[in-house]
């Protein structure tokens, strides 16, 4: 087993969860700060630039589907096998995950660059300036995607190992570089929206170099001997895809169906697009934090599931659920009460601000369940059960489209879109929480000691 410092199967549960989750959550805060900084500077160009970046960003969001294959292979493969005391197997899963991400990152980036015009054309945006800027932004930002693919796998390796602090330090430093460089490239060098994309490429490249060093040279690295390129192991690649493909499908369909809704929003004009872009970024105060905590839960559950520490696993889930419930309530109050001042930071036109305020207040009501369901999803993933969260998310996203289009056709108009989405995600959150509760009842209530495990194998 790894260094006791990173062993999540021992020690006080709450302390382990907090120590593990805080660096991931803090990284999410830095990412949120960058997204808002980027949006703030682009809004100083024009609200059309905000809409352009938001439109192109849909395809960057779509890339997360493929990124998650390698990252989940690393997090689940490393955490479960470290929990079993099999570091060589954990390393093998990490190496295969890295190679998968390199291939997928390059293929996705090349495809998007070649198809950028029809991809942006899908949204049927009337404003020619917004279309041109969206194509430019998309072409440059996808150049950073192969780096992002690798960076996420390395983060997954360290998370599964139980060391979330090092990825936090690296990600925070490079996000700070990005935040500082963005206004320089946009305004000082007069590169406009392309400058924001170039700043991202530079920061992501620095992140890559630093993480490769951490994986191969850092004294507290997960594995002594780690090869960036190794022999193809088809058995483990199949297992990685078995874990990762359901999550990839979940993420891809979420984004694709979100894009269908975004096209509906585009029919209401550039103001609606910009308001949705701003509203979704401010709302990410909730789901980015919850997602970070869910990643910590995946590693915690994975190690304890591999070690057959079922009682400890159940206790960790309960503690995480309570923590995220309180956080969700806090976010709900903040987004609902301070919706107007938050939106006004990034938008200047009163009409656009009003749209953004309605968006935030409607989605504020979904935040508590959203935070809690993220813990259920992370727990399923830690056990290698990635299909169940996918079924729930995909079903919820289909309902999202149906409800959004139906209510948009009523007197509610654009607010009907927001209400339809809110109803669909609420149904999904409740479903996932109830499903995990049913799953937990079937799990053994006590931890397996070594003698019990031997007896179980003999049986």
Assess if residue 9 is contained within a domain.
no
Task: Examine the pLDDT at 444 and tell me if it is beyond 90.
Answer: no
The tokens of 454 are what?
């031997």
Separation CA 400–CA 393 (nearest Å) = 10
Assess if residue 10 is contained within a domain.
no
**How many angstroms from the chain centroid is the CA of residue 175?**
16
Task: Examine the pLDDT at 431 and tell me if it is beyond 90.
Answer: yes
Q: Given the structure tokens 């400890």, which residue do they identify?
A: 312
Separation CA 428–CA 182 (nearest Å) = 37
Domain count, the chain: 1
**How many angstroms from the chain centroid is the CA of residue 176?**
19
Q: Which of 15-19, 217-221, 440-444 has the highest mean predicted lDDT (pLDDT)? A: 217-221
Task: Examine the pLDDT at 226 and tell me if it is beyond 60.
Answer: yes
Assess if residue 2 is contained within a domain.
no
Query: For residue 5, what pLDDT is reported?
Result: 66
| Residues ≥6 apart with Cβ < 8 Å to 46 | none
Over pLDDT 90: what percentage of the chain?
42
Assess if residue 106 is contained within a domain.
yes
Query: For residue 459, what pLDDT is reported?
Result: 34
Decide: helix, strand or coil at residue 365. Answer: coil
- pTM for the full predicted model: 0.72
**How many angstroms from the chain centroid is the CA of residue 84?**
27
Assess if residue 453 is contained within a domain.
no
Assess if residue 458 is contained within a domain.
no
What pLDDT, in 10s, does the model give residues 302-350? 888 888 888 888 888 998 899 899 999 999 999 999 999 988 888 878 8
Nearest CA to 83 among 315, 298, 382, 305?
A: 305
Task: Examine the pLDDT at 7 and tell me if it is beyond 60.
Answer: yes
Assess if residue 3 is contained within a domain.
no
Domain containing residue 84: 15-443
Task: Examine the pLDDT at 273 and tell me if it is beyond 90.
Answer: no
* Rg value, the chain, Cα: 22
Separation CA 104–CA 245 (nearest Å) = 13
What pLDDT, in 10s, does the model give residues 10-57? 878 878 877 877 787 777 777 667 777 777 788 788 778 888 888 888
Assess if residue 283 is contained within a domain.
yes
Query: For residue 457, what pLDDT is reported?
Result: 34
Query: For residue 445, what pLDDT is reported?
Result: 67
Over pLDDT 70: what percentage of the chain?
94
């Amino acid at each position: 087993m790894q260094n006791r410092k990173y062993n999540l199967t021992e020690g006080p549960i709450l302390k382990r969860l907090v120590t593990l989750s805080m660096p991931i959550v803090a990284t999410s805060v830095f990412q949120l700060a960058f997204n808002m900084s980027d949006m703030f500077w682009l809004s100083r160009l024009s609200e059309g630039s905000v809409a352009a970046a938001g439109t192109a960003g849909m395809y960057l969001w779509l890339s997360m589907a493929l990124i998650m294959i390698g990252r989940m292979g690393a997090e689940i493969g490393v955490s479960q096998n470290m929990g079993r005391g099999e570091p060589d197997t954990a390393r093998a899963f990490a190496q295969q995950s890295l190679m998968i991400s390199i291939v997928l990152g390059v293929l996705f980036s090349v495809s998007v660059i070649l198809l950028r015009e029809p991809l942006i054309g899908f949204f049927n945006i009337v404003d020619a300036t917004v279309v041109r800027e969206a194509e430019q932004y998309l072409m440059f930002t996808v150049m950073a995607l192969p780096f992002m693919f690798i960076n996420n796998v390395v983060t997954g390796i360290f998370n599964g190992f139980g060391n979330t602090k090092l990825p936090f330090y690296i990600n925070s430093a490079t996000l700070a570089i990005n935040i500082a460089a963005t206004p320089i490239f946009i305004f000082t060098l007069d590169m406009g929206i392309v400058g924001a994309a170039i700043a991202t490429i530079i920061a992501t490249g620095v992140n890559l170099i630093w993480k490769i060093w951490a994986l191969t040279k850092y004294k507290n690295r997960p594995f002594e001997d780690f090869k960036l390129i190794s022999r193809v192991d088809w058995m483990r690649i199949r297992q990685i895809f078995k874990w990762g493909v359901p999550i990839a499908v979940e993420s891809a369909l979420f984004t694709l169906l979100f894009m269908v809704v975004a096209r509906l929003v585009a029919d209401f004009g550039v103001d609606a697009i910009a308001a949705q872009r701003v509203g979704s970024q401010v709302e990410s105060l909730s789901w980015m934090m919850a997602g970070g905590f869910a990643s910590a839960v995946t590693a915690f559950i994975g190690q304890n599931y591999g070690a057959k520490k079922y009682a400890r696993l159940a206790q960790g889930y309960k503690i995480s659920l309570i923590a995220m419930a309180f956080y969700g309530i806090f976010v709900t109050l903040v987004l609902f009460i301070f919706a107007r001042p938050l939106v006004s930071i990034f938008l200047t036109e009163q009409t656009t601000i009003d749209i953004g305020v309605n968006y935030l207040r409607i989605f504020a009501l979904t935040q508590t369940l959203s935070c809690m369901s993220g813990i259920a999803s992370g727990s399923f993933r830690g056990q290698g059960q990635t299909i169940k969260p996918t079924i729930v998310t995909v079903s919820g996203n289909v309902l999202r489209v149906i409800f959004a289009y139906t209510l948009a056709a009523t007197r509610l108009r654009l607010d009907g879109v927001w209400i339809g989405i809110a109803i669909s995600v609420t149904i999904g959150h409740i479903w996932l929480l109830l499903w995990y509760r049913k799953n937990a009842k079937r799990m053994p209530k006590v931890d397996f000691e070594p003698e019990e495990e031997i007896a179980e194998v003999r049986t």
